[in-house]
Structure formats: structure tokens, C-alpha cells
Amino acid sequence: MLLIEPNVFFDARGWFMETYNASYFREHGLPDTFVQDNQSQSRRGVLRGLHYQLEQPQGKLVRCTRGAIRDVAVDIRRNSPYFGQWTSADLTADNRHMLWVPPGFAHGFAVLSDEAEVVYKCTTLWHKPSDRSLLWNDPALGIDWGVENPDVSEKDATAKPLRDADVFES
């Protein structure tokens, strides 16, 4: 996981920032090729996740372009010393931070503002047969989502806890 704080240049007209630069990413050991961009809009209290693809894992570069979210990633690489540990970052339109979520992590977010728009770049295409969800409220994980009684999809509400989930073995 890597929190990216881009340089933002302000003037009387507004602001400008670079959200992706292949050379910078390559220099810092990050992927320099993305194949899919996704965008979502959600209202306060919506929780999306924790999603991952088992056979074709996705790395994701996530940012919030309107509102505020708590972005969460869980290490689901069984042989990792951090297996089952989670991290989070509050991404907002105001702080303009981006979170790099590498392959091998389950990812999700909760909306902290009245509305939020989230944009993320993916290193592989969505692959329905390998799409999985990890239970967002698994007591073994104890994730602090920053919202009470979140609104989740049926898919996310019935996802498997970590102890029963398909995870990355290598």
C-alpha cells in the first residue's frame, strides 16, 4: 500500500495536479500500465467492498474526486507476514490523495460525506469468473469503516469471512 500525495498547483484560476505519470510510477516501483478506469457515485453511508479478483488480481490506484471516503485494503496473501491485516486512508476531494492498492489485497470504501465520486485505475480488466468479496464486517478483521449501519449490496452482505474465503496462496 502506498498513499500518494500529488503536487497541487494553485493560482487565481483554480488548481492543477498530475494524477498519473508512467515515468514517476516506474521510478517508484509501481505499475506504469493501467487497462481499465472505473468511476462510481454513492451517497453517505454506502459501503462498497471488500472486492478482489482471485485468478486475475487487480492493482488499483484510487482517488476521490467529490466528497470523502474511507478507503480500506486487506492483505489476503496467505504467505504474507501481514496476512489479514488492513489499512485505511481517508481520501477526499480536498486532500486529493490517492491510494495504491496492489494485487493481492481486498479493497473497499465507505462514503463519509453526503455524496462521493470515486475514480480508480486498474492494472487488469474485470474478470467475472474470478470476482470475489470478503465480508466487510468480519469480526476477525475489525475494520473501522467510519460509518454506522452502512448500506451494502446483497453480494457484500453475504460475502465470506477471511477464514472461509478463497485467498492468494503464493
Active-site residues: which are they? 51, 120
C-alpha to C-alpha distances, 158 to 46, 63, 86, 153, nearest whole angstrom: 16, 27, 20, 9
| Dist. CA 154–CA 170, nearest whole Å | 30
Report the Cα–Cα distance between both ends of the chain, in Å, rounded.
Answer: 18
Report CA dihedral (167, 57, 27, 15) to the nearest 10 degrees: -110
Q: Would strands 98-101 and 68-75 be described as parallel, antiparallel, or unpaired?
A: unpaired
